[in-house]
Structure 1
Amino acid sequence: MPHPIVAIIGRPNVGKSTLFNRLVGKRLALVDNRPGVTRDRREGDASLLGLDFRIIDTAGYEDEDPDSLPGRMRRQTESAVQGADVALFMIDARTGLTPLDEEIARWLRAAETPVILVANKAEGRAGEAGMLDALSLGMGDPVALSAEHGEGVVELFEALRPLVEAAEAAADVEDADAPDAPLKLAVVGRPNAGKSTLINRMLGQDRLITGPEAGITRDSIATDWAWQGRPVRLIDTAGMRKRARVQEKLERLAVADALHAIDFAEVVILLLDATKGLEGQDLRIADNVLKEGRALIIALNKWDVAEDASRLFNGVKAALEEGLSQARGIPVLTVSAITGKGIDTLLKVAFETRDSWSRRVSTGALNRWFERAMEANPPPAPGGKRIKPRYLTQINSRPPSFALFGTRVDLLPDSYKRYLINGIRREFDFGAVPVRLMLRAAKNPFDKQA
């Protein structure tokens, strides 16, 4: 899904390109103290405290003949704003309002695009008068900013976040009517666990070479397929052995390819040989999947010939609980690649797991739960310093990622982070998919870049 679009608009030389460069993290736009340096729209991928969007740097808005160069530049700017989800209207707090600022404001009030008023160059006393003047534009309180020094970016984030999230939610509604995207499903495991046999059984044909010899599959092989009318891209991978056994160059390349397949996948099935149980290498593979942020399912293959099945199943679950404490409750299913038993259930769970991995939670629901969680277990005060969390927001999905904002939240101990992550997972039914939590203390995150 494409990111929401944010356009920066304002008269020439108010600092639009400086803010653009700061948000994209690169010097993509020319910056000079002469007006009119930017003539064409520039676009880049921006990230502000984990909030991702597409940013457009527009030419300075000038009151000129429509057929002149400045007039054509203005048409480009108007087009950019009409196609944007949010407009940042920038004024110069040191210079104060000009008649052109007031004209731009009148035009923006008539447009349908939501507008955030930004007063740039607001650092120090020199910008105070311009901040007060900005209230007369009727666009609410301006966000005080210094694009050059990176001041005010937290306030800009707080103003942008609800509008960007609303644009994302609207896009999600549109996407809901589109055909399902293929489920990217990788099958990984130790050599000879039956990965290729399982995929052949799913496909109903001998698409992949199989045999009793370990390591027949050398490459990760992707196959497009459909299960009950839903598209799937199946990825069979080379067997992942212990590092000490990976001697041949060819096998080293195969393992590297399997790791790449994990990165490509949405859901990863770790296939175990039920006749051999769970080994340390299986836990290392599972840990790698979770560190890459992919959803994980454990499948016990050759279940039709397993001995003492109940004891084996409970033993595998207990070992997973102990060895993968960061993701308790990972689905453990039984299958037989030879007979096909359990495969439909496996695929049903894979689709459900992807849904959880892709889920977004509204900021309102998240913070209602967060307030209850803090009342039930208030954050500690290490060294007598009180930690003051302010709010929680989801900054990404696939995997679900959240940011906690507040004063000194970077001092929260790991135990309290685990308390919040486990609570989010339970409350919003994320199951065992990886959930990430970033701590954003109230400080200037661009100090090192300024």
Structure 2
Amino acid sequence: MLPQVIIIGRPNVGKSTLFNRLIGKKLALVDDQPGVTRDRRFGDAELLGLKFQIVDTAGWEDEEAETLPGRMRKQTEASLESADVALFVVDARAGLTPLDEEIGQWLRASPVPVILLVNKAEGRAGEGGVLEAYSLGLGDPIPFSAEHGIGMSDLFESLLPYLDPLQPEEPEFEEEMDDESRLLQPLKLAIVGRPNAGKSTLINRILGEDRLLTGPEAGITRDSITVNWEWTDPATGNVREVHLIDTAGMRKRANVVEKLERMAVADAKLAIDFAEVVVLLLDATRGLEHQDLTIASKVLEEGRALIIAINKWDVAEGASGLFNGIRAALDEGLAQVRGVPLLAVSARTGKGLDELVAAGFAIREAWSKRVPTAALNRWFDDALSANPPPAPGGKRIKLRYITQAKTRPPGFVVFGTRLDLLPESYKRYLINGMRKNLGFESVPIRMNLRSAKNPFAKD
């Protein structure tokens, strides 16, 4: 486990910019508008060889506990408990505020070591803020610029005494993983859907704690948040690792007009790319809508394994008819992958959550499956015998053999002649046969056609 460093400060002092600087990529959403970050975000950072986990937190605001800013502050307070070091960020150009002093007083009472960063300190405009920061009583402040990378060496020197003894041992070498080894790795499971479908509530229920910010307000989640978790399979008792990924709600593109929401939706799409299995969460009180099919199609186009889960099942009306209606609509609307797993769950009661995670592991196995070439071509020959390819215009299409080029998602290459004349319907026939006979049910399959290059090959 890497030592953990948490970033704390009031809104708009540059915490997320610092987070992005330390992990080396723009992972957290950044905007001039205060309060962009709402949930804790974790990232692996390395500073001059010093490795640690960095935690971005919501801006600290002095509001009532039941309000959205108050619930955000509670998340930040909870995150300090597991930290090895806290980075307290203040704004050099704005100077100290009463809220900075309140945060400083809270941090002084904590046993966690605190490093004071005075951000936006580049140029003469920030000199006064650096001098003023001494009054917080947290030691020598570090003049810093998260945007320009100024002060990184000073930050390294301040972190070194705390983090150097906690550095993990490096393996002598790393072997490249084969398909079987990947199945032993943590399952990357993303939860997507429209706003207010209950994605964050579902993850909190799975974890058994209020890890993610929830509430009646639509669009609370902005950043895609990854939470590492261990799941005990009730059928076998085996403990399996899961990386749960919460995402922002995805509305119709025409309804997304604010810059922050556009950024959040783009971040959710990146989370789909990162995931292995994607759970599309529906709201049982609203049924299946066109936007749900749009999201599902996007997941399949990206080659990810897909599960559909109907949330709020405990308050669903006409449950049997609702389930069958959604099943029929999915089979019609997602013709490219029929039979996508459909489960009924409840984030409030916990119904179906173990079945949901188990389905994620099962569909990942199909998504990662590789069929031996000999077995694949035996099936291929049988499929051609049962239904030979057509001969459009009297020109015979010759399909010679097939090979599996990749997994995750499974991809195949068919070799033959005159393949430009092969109709899409016959290609679908082959793909459907693979699903039925080779264990690729309900996962996206890629098939490419490649003509033989041998000039002496007979037609």
Structure 1 length-normalised TM: 0.59
Other-structure match for 1:199: 203
CA distance in 1, matches of 2:182, 2:418: 43
Aligned residue pairs total: 275
Contact 1:271–1:300 (8 Å) recurs in 2? yes
Other-structure match for 1:315: 325
Other-structure match for 1:442: 452
Contact 2:179–2:368 (8 Å) recurs in 1? no
Other-structure match for 1:241: 251
Give 5+ residue unaligned stretches, structure 2. Answer: 1-174, 233-238
Question: Quick check: 1:295 aligned with 2:299?
Answer: no
Report the Cα offset of residue 383 of structure 1: 1.9
Closer/same/farther in 2, CA of residues 174 and 236 from structure 1, 3 Å limit? closer
Question: Quick check: 1:250 aligned with 2:263?
Answer: no
Report the Cα offset of residue 175 of structure 1: 6.8
* Alignment match of 1:338 (pick from 324, 334, 348): 348
* Alignment match of 2:192 (pick from 169, 188, 192): 188
CA RMSD of aligned residues (A): 1.8
Secondary structure at 1:333 match in 2 = strand
Contact 1:366–1:393 (8 Å) recurs in 2? yes
Question: Quick check: 1:208 aligned with 2:212?
Answer: yes
Contact 1:301–1:337 (8 Å) recurs in 2? yes
Amino acid in the other structure paired with 1:183: L
Question: Quick check: 1:222 aligned with 2:226?
Answer: yes
CA distance in 2, matches of 1:243, 1:220: 18
Matches within 5 A, 1:68-79: none
Other-structure match for 1:422: 432
Secondary structure at 1:404 match in 2 = strand
Give 5+ residue unaligned stretches, structure 1. Answer: 1-170, 446-450
CA distance in 2, matches of 1:179, 1:427: 22
CA distance in 2, matches of 1:411, 1:434: 24
Question: Quick check: 1:279 aligned with 2:289?
Answer: yes
Other-structure match for 1:356: 366
Report the Cα offset of residue 260 of structure 1: 0.5
CA distance in 1, matches of 2:283, 2:203: 15
Secondary structure at 1:317 match in 2 = helix
Report the Cα offset of residue 444 of structure 1: 8.1
Other-structure match for 1:78: none
Report the Cα offset of residue 443 of structure 1: 3.5
CA distance in 1, matches of 2:271, 2:404: 27
CA deviations on 1:369-395 (whole Å, 9 max, x unpaired) are: 111111111001112211111100100
Report the Cα offset of residue 213 of structure 1: 1.2
Other-structure match for 1:108: none
Other-structure match for 2:423: 413
Question: Quick check: 1:374 aligned with 2:384?
Answer: yes
Other-structure match for 1:79: none
Other-structure match for 1:232: 242
Report the Cα offset of residue 174 of structure 1: 7.3
Contact 2:251–2:291 (8 Å) recurs in 1? yes
CA distance in 2, matches of 1:256, 1:400: 26
CA distance in 1, matches of 2:242, 2:429: 35
Other-structure match for 2:22: none
CA distance in 1, matches of 2:260, 2:320: 39
Closer/same/farther in 2, CA of residues 370 and 179 from structure 1, 3 Å limit? closer
* Alignment match of 2:269 (pick from 259, 265, 270): 259
Amino acid in the other structure paired with 2:318: D
CA distance in 1, matches of 2:309, 2:181: 32
Other-structure match for 1:73: none
CA distance in 1, matches of 2:179, 2:375: 22
Report the Cα offset of residue 436 of structure 1: 1.1
Contact 1:410–1:440 (8 Å) recurs in 2? no
CA distance in 2, matches of 1:318, 1:232: 31
Report the Cα offset of residue 410 of structure 1: 2.8
CA distance in 1, matches of 2:182, 2:252: 43
CA deviations on 1:149-186 (whole Å, 9 max, x unpaired) are: xxxxxxxxxxxxxxxxxxxxxx9997747882010000
CA deviations on 1:196-240 (whole Å, 9 max, x unpaired) are: 000001111100000111100011001111111111111000000
Which shows bigger deviation, 220-229 or 190-199?
220-229
CA distance in 2, matches of 1:182, 1:173: 13
CA deviations on 1:127-153 (whole Å, 9 max, x unpaired) are: xxxxxxxxxxxxxxxxxxxxxxxxxxx
Report the Cα offset of residue 408 of structure 1: 1.3
Amino acid in the other structure paired with 1:220: S
CA distance in 2, matches of 1:252, 1:173: 36
Contact 1:201–1:338 (8 Å) recurs in 2? yes
Contact 2:183–2:365 (8 Å) recurs in 1? no
Secondary structure at 2:251 match in 1 = coil
Closer/same/farther in 2, CA of residues 425 and 178 from structure 1, 3 Å limit? closer
Secondary structure at 1:298 match in 2 = strand
Closer/same/farther in 2, CA of residues 294 and 310 from structure 1, 3 Å limit? same
Give the 4+ runs in structure 1 shifted more than 4 A. 171-179
Other-structure match for 2:236: none
Matches within 5 A, 1:129-148: none
